[in-house]
Structure 1
Amino acid sequence: MLISSAVLCQIGLNLARPLISYKVLALGGDSIIVGLTSASYALVPLSVTLWLGRVSDRRSSLRGIAVMGTLLLAVGPFVLAVSPSFLLVTVASALLGMGHLCFTIAGQSAIARVDPLNHRDAAFGWFAASFSVGQMVGPFLAGLAMGSSEGVPAEVRLADANTALLIAGVISVLAVPFAFGTAVKYAPVDKMDAASPSRPDSFSALLRYPTMRTNMMASVALLTTTDILVAFLPLLGEEKGVPPVVVGILLAVQAVASIVSRLLLPVLLAHWSRPTLVIASLAGAGTTLALLPWGFQFPWIAGIQLAIGGFFLGLGQPVTLTLVTQAVPPTSRGAALALRMFGNRVGQVSLPTAAGLVAAPVGPSGALWMSCVVLAAACLRRPGNKQDQGPPSNGSCPEQE
């Protein structure tokens, strides 16, 4: 039920998000406003992320949080469809961000709580793959809705975007019954592990784990790169003369590749360690996507580049989830996942805004190159191969591995 709900609400979300860029352009906006609306998707949830993580640790059932997330994801596209101004578009984008936050924390916390370590990579991989299905189908439907014609008048673009946003809302509504079906009772964290009777770590204590910091950086880099692709590939397509339907197909190719890498995680982990796969994810995605602007006007070249880049982008996220939950005591897993998401949201606020500022003088290619620099920085900051270690048995927070 969790995976079914995830697939539907992520299709609706990822159908709506590329349309925000087209709607902003149709309303007369530019790349800076696209960056700001993309940042609003993460800005408002920042204020409740850490609190929601603690709540997930205390609740015996996470159904209420999951249902709230799907409801917000259903409301957001309808608000976007009727928004006549940049301000309301920004508000609707924030609603989508809140819905995504609630649903993701509920799902990740449930997996961290009930799945043993040897199954956790695969479970996170399936959950992440369901998100990738949405990232595949959603942009493809958005491209079909916007059509293949070039030079379309702004009012026609706006009407097409509004119609597609209504479809996105309907798809998200279909996810709500499945979210209600996730009514599983989980053991509270204070009863899960008798060997860990200590109180949950504070957020500052969690940040003292080197594993926590480095995997947060990797997660931020990978997630914001995906967001920048969704927000700025439509602009790159407009610049290069690539029709929206082709842009939607290319984003779908990237998502398919992410699904493949996430479903192959058990096979890959049989040959390589988790930290090695994270490093490969960062380096492979950064190298491939840095070349994307030069081949984007040739769809088959861009398709190959996005397939390779999407494979590496999808690979790292579920692995960092396992490393984060392994790094902390059981009583702090929900908080650690929320802290990781908090870092993601900070990145989603700051980096798309910075990408918009870079794209203003340089063009949308500059936004992609900036994300590649962030990927490289996260890769270079990773220490040796000790990331698979869990928390120390005495519950202390070491400054070094």
Structure 2
Amino acid sequence: MTYEPGRNRSWLLRLVIAFSFAQAAVSMARPAVSYRALALGADERAVGVIAGVYALLPLFAAVPLGRRTDHGRCAPLLPIGVVLISGGCALSGLAGSLTAMAAWSGVMGLGHLCFVIGAQSIVARQSAPDEQDRNFGHFTIGASLGQLVGPVAAGALIGGPDMAGTSALALLVAAGGCAVAFTSLWRIEFRRTRTDARAAKGPAARVPVHRILRTRGVPGGIFISLAVLSATDILTAYLPVVGEHRGIAPSVIGVLLSLRAGATIACRLVMTPLINWLGRSVLIATTCLLAALLCAGIALPVPVWALGVMLVLLGFCLGVGQPLSMTTVVQAAPPGARSTALALRLTGNRLGQVAAPASAGLIAGVAGTAAPFVMLGGLLLVAATLGFRGAPVERPEGARGTARATTTQAAPAAESTADNGA
């Protein structure tokens, strides 16, 4: 059975459901890992290192997986990702040392990468060019739903005098929740796309990585995605630390993180009219600029209600970057290398997830727990500049029919999880 771009989108709904469960598990596990690490004696630097290891294995695996996806099936990566996420969550909860927690956090990150590469490849292959903004936006709603539910569930379970025990319970529950993704995933797993069948007949010539990275729009899309995901990641990992220092309960922190995720969902539901109103480049640049100011504002010792307002506005602004950077990279990349281009985007994401938490940990240890959010403000400010200057030339309306036909005949195209992102 094959899919046709622009027709039945039940595959997208099933993919969103599966992604919601996988991302909820990750979003529940990330703060739980931070709380468990703190309970086991970790300081701010150690929390940053453990958060960075989550992205270390994916940093080296993304491009090889993207190459393989360009010339083969993408659906098998989905169940592999679910197994690795579930295993990483469960074993993080059972680990008794910070070293073991860091290792299993890396396994969790590798599973999230596998799932996201496979899922993004399916979305890109099954979407015509004029459907990509909408379909990637709907796909990332799955990540936002997971980010909405996960922190609240973590906050409900974690607390009391036995922080190590309750955080371990939250990690085990996250592992079970991720396994539920199989109920929606199996119908996608056993179907082949037309491009899958064509790729099985023989591999196409590889496009060099340096050529992909030199294509206008690809570097800017990668950096924008890196900045937005780093902001989301550090919010998830470091808001619990800020809460500990300001006397905010874990349950309140969970609600605040979920408010941020809910605003991201709202943003993605109105993505199409926003693009029609402002255009993709202006929308990306404006939201990154506003997000930079809001991230810097979190560093201020504001009341909890003001922190909640800032997180809602920040969630709405951060909701733009991920889906539109996917579209930017897919449409800018050379035909036959779109999965690899999206894998390079994910490599940039993971590089940010390694460097940003580690840098945040160092900055927090020296300048205080709020300082990493000032760093994020600077990162998003650079992304706003690239949003104006680094976007590819957008196709005119009349060229969409030709672009649709070219995409249908081209080699396979391929992401936050994920996050995670998301």
8 Å CA contact 1:124, 1:322 repeated in 2: yes
TM-fit CA distance, 1:79: 0.2
Name the counterpart of 2:176: 170
Superposed CA deviations along residues 14-40 of structure 1, whole A, max 9, x for unmatched, are 111101110111000011011101100
Asked if 1:360 corresponds to 2:365, the answer is yes
Runs of 4+ in 1 over 3 A off after TM superposition: 189-192, 197-200, 381-386
Aligned CA RMSD, in angstroms, stands at: 2.0
Q: Structure 2: which amino acid aligns with 1:186?
A: T
Asked if 1:130 corresponds to 2:153, the answer is no
Name the counterpart of 1:218: 224
TM-fit CA distance, 1:198: 7.7
Summarize the Cα distance change of 1:230–1:174 in structure 2 as closer, same or farther, 3 Å threshold: same
TM-fit CA distance, 1:259: 0.8
Q: Structure 2: which amino acid aligns with 1:338?
A: A
Name the counterpart of 1:26: 39
8 Å CA contact 2:23, 2:143 repeated in 1: yes
What fraction of aligned residue pairs are identical, expressed as a percent?
33
Secondary structure in structure 1 of the residue aligned to 2:42: coil
8 Å CA contact 2:87, 2:175 repeated in 1: yes
Q: Structure 2: which amino acid aligns with 1:337?
A: L
Map 1:131-280 onto structure 2 (within 5 A).
131-147=143-159, 152-153=160-161, 156-182=162-188, 183-188=190-195, 191=198, 199-280=205-286
- Partners of 2:286 and 2:157 lie apart in 1 by 35
- Partners of 1:314 and 1:382 lie apart in 2 by 15
2:93 paired residue among 49, 65, 81: 81
Secondary structure in structure 2 of the residue aligned to 1:12: helix
Superposed CA deviations along residues 306-347 of structure 1, whole A, max 9, x for unmatched, are 000010011111001001000023311101100110111111
1:336 paired residue among 325, 332, 341: 341
Secondary structure in structure 1 of the residue aligned to 2:277: coil
8 Å CA contact 1:190, 1:331 repeated in 2: no
Q: Structure 2: which amino acid aligns with 1:370?
A: M
Q: Structure 1: which amino acid aligns with 2:315?
A: G
Q: Unaligned 5+ residue runs, structure 2?
A: 1-13, 396-402, 411-422
8 Å CA contact 1:222, 1:375 repeated in 2: yes
- Partners of 1:366 and 1:144 lie apart in 2 by 27
TM-fit CA distance, 1:184: 2.7
Q: TM-score, normalised by structure 1?
A: 0.91
Q: Unaligned 5+ residue runs, structure 1?
A: 396-401
1:5 paired residue among 18, 21, 26: 18
- Partners of 1:198 and 1:72 lie apart in 2 by 30
1:288 paired residue among 290, 294, 310: 294
Secondary structure in structure 1 of the residue aligned to 2:185: helix
Superposed CA deviations along residues 160-215 of structure 1, whole A, max 9, x for unmatched, are 101111111110111123222213311237959xxxx9834211100101310111
- Partners of 1:25 and 1:38 lie apart in 2 by 12
- Partners of 2:270 and 2:206 lie apart in 1 by 33
TM-fit CA distance, 1:140: 0.8
Superposed CA deviations along residues 222-278 of structure 1, whole A, max 9, x for unmatched, are 001100001110000011110000000000000001111112111111111111111
Name the counterpart of 1:323: 328
Summarize the Cα distance change of 1:205–1:228 in structure 2 as closer, same or farther, 3 Å threshold: same
8 Å CA contact 1:63, 1:180 repeated in 2: no
Name the counterpart of 1:44: 57
8 Å CA contact 2:216, 2:332 repeated in 1: no
Superposed CA deviations along residues 113-156 of structure 1, whole A, max 9, x for unmatched, are 11001111111011111001111110111111124xxxx54xx0
Name the counterpart of 2:130: 118
Name the counterpart of 1:53: 66
Q: TM-score, normalised by structure 2?
A: 0.86
TM-fit CA distance, 1:109: 0.7
- Partners of 1:314 and 1:330 lie apart in 2 by 27
Name the counterpart of 2:78: 66
- Partners of 1:53 and 1:230 lie apart in 2 by 27
Q: What is the number of residues matched between the two proteins? A: 381
8 Å CA contact 1:189, 1:331 repeated in 2: no
8 Å CA contact 1:274, 1:388 repeated in 2: no
1:308 paired residue among 272, 293, 313: 313
